[in-house]
Structure 1
């Protein structure tokens, strides 16, 4: 039987198996506490002691992404202005767990669930500077290290709109009436532009609230899960200006990042709505009310002017 959802696992890993893999391949970590942090779409994440975090692929597609992270993340140190997890331990496949895995230093912080707009605004300039610097990373070096080209097909707005309309039909019963009106109005005005700028940059590629950490003041303290790194349209990352930041903070973001054309802003807003729709559907499937509510709030924020 095929998988019901695109986020369903191809294989799972247990606490016991993680302990065995760590003991056998990294005996210097064998005495440290093992704590399961949860699942993303692609990986199951464990904290080892207080210093390290390990990601174990749970979908076939994640295997090549883990390999790319191992090659590419160490090269970003001079380009990344917000803390991010650097690879330290390169795990090998075994008979019990047939794929490679990766261990990193632990980046402190919490997911930005329920963070107030005033707190979010504190990170506007920092996020703009972060992306300006990240997007200056040489695209040729990124490709040589395994980064694909535009694997999300960001410029294909017509196809993305079609998918969003299907997502909306699934999510509509969970929306409030004013949210349904806002989403309907938004989808009705989305059209494929005649042309999109062709300038490609190096991207994090998946910059949403489940891949961001904040400190006790709500300021961004870490950017995690770099498995979707690619070379593509900058709107893929600029979407954070609409998904994470409230409208009143976006001018500070663009002052730090640099101004972009209106079509890029439209595409960025679309991605800021599209990804949380998927996260919301998964959260409903998982029964995760906190993540579902944050996905709802993210969509509402992205729709706001």
Structure 2
């Protein structure tokens, strides 16, 4: 997109540096192979051996987020009906690297890219139970550990719309006229009346690059919890629109519990907002597969309006 993007790294973590840091602090792992398996906005990810994944911050903003993961994720275990990224190794900042880093058990599965509607519908009971349990986590425990509150201000629909119009302008040279028109029409008709704040424990960044599915295409794990926060449940419920086909949404809400129309409005907005950002990054990275998935997600989110 441009020379300076939201997802650009402030420092890179090479395989050599990652291996050196792991060997120094966890010598029992020093003999294992190490390979980079990906990166997100905030972290570079390495697989150590076949069973441990280490995440190394690549931006300063990720440092506090990783500290929060280290404190809170172990406390989620009794609330989790799905495998998730529970840290096992707690690396500390040093002269060689200015940030903490965490090691987690490797969760098998793949990103839910190119799934059929039937496969997606098969995950309805699992996703509903996962979010129902997660959203029941006591916020007093989260607050005691210093969790952030709606740090991205996702309930401000007017501000969100303004940003999305800017994203659409950046995307315009790279997407079809049909896709551009569909998003523009949605934003033009968007109700931007303020949403009442809610105070629920959230994953905070629930999208297809933070979800894993098994060989049958059923959700099998949730990763990357760096954006955990207290906020509006619509932030996580965006998956009802981004992940599930329209015909499966009523079944999800029946299993999860009553969700009001205001929450649905915000959830759909976030289900368009996040893939727009992912689409922009995919274009910048020349990742055609992820760009196509982001495009498909937006179309799904806007369906059955």
| Common topology (TM > 0.5) | yes
Instruction: Confirm or deny: 8 A CA contact 2:110 2:214 kept in the other structure.
Output: yes
**Tell me, what secondary structure is at the counterpart of 1:218?**
coil
C-alpha separation in 2, matches of 1:173 and 1:246: 28
**Tell me, what secondary structure is at the counterpart of 2:88?**
strand
Matched, 1:100 2:126: no
Q: Which stretch shows the higher mean deviation, 63-72 or 27-36?
A: 27-36
**Tell me, what secondary structure is at the counterpart of 2:206?**
coil
Q: Which stretch shows the higher mean deviation, 175-184 or 222-231?
A: 175-184
The Cα offsets for residues 212-250 of structure 1, whole Å up to 9 and x where unpaired, read as 000011000110000000000000000010011111111
Q: Which stretch shows the higher mean deviation, 170-179 or 109-118?
A: 170-179
**Tell me, what secondary structure is at the counterpart of 1:173?**
coil
Matched, 1:242 2:241: yes
C-alpha separation in 2, matches of 1:155 and 1:18: 38
**Tell me, what secondary structure is at the counterpart of 1:297?**
helix
Q: 1:232 to 1:279 in 2, by over 3 A?
A: same
The Cα offsets for residues 68-109 of structure 1, whole Å up to 9 and x where unpaired, read as 000000000011111101111000112211111111111111
The Cα offsets for residues 44-76 of structure 1, whole Å up to 9 and x where unpaired, read as 000111111000000000000000000000000
Q: Which runs of 5+ in 1 are unaligned?
A: none
C-alpha separation in 2, matches of 1:198 and 1:98: 36
Q: Which runs of 5+ in 2 are unaligned?
A: none
Residue equivalent to 1:72:
72
Runs (4+) of structure 1 moved beyond 4 Å? none
Instruction: Confirm or deny: 8 A CA contact 1:125 1:255 kept in the other structure.
Output: no
Aligned residue pairs: how many? 303
Residue equivalent to 1:168:
168
The Cα offsets for residues 249-294 of structure 1, whole Å up to 9 and x where unpaired, read as 1111111111211111010000000011001101111111111111
Residue equivalent to 1:304:
303
Question: Where does 1:8-157 land on structure 2 (aligned, <5 Å)?
Answer: 8-157=8-157
Instruction: Confirm or deny: 8 A CA contact 1:205 1:226 kept in the other structure.
Output: yes
Tell me the CA shift for residue 158 of structure 1: 0.2
Tell me the CA shift for residue 203 of structure 1: 0.3
Residue equivalent to 2:259:
260
C-alpha separation in 1, matches of 2:215 and 2:83: 16
Question: Where does 1:278-293 land on structure 2 (aligned, <5 Å)?
Answer: 278-293=277-292
C-alpha separation in 1, matches of 2:226 and 2:197: 23
The Cα offsets for residues 135-181 of structure 1, whole Å up to 9 and x where unpaired, read as 01011111212310111112110000000001011112322232222
C-alpha separation in 2, matches of 1:278 and 1:298: 12
C-alpha separation in 2, matches of 1:173 and 1:261: 37
TM-score by length of 1: 0.97
C-alpha separation in 2, matches of 1:161 and 1:172: 16
**Tell me, what secondary structure is at the counterpart of 1:36?**
strand
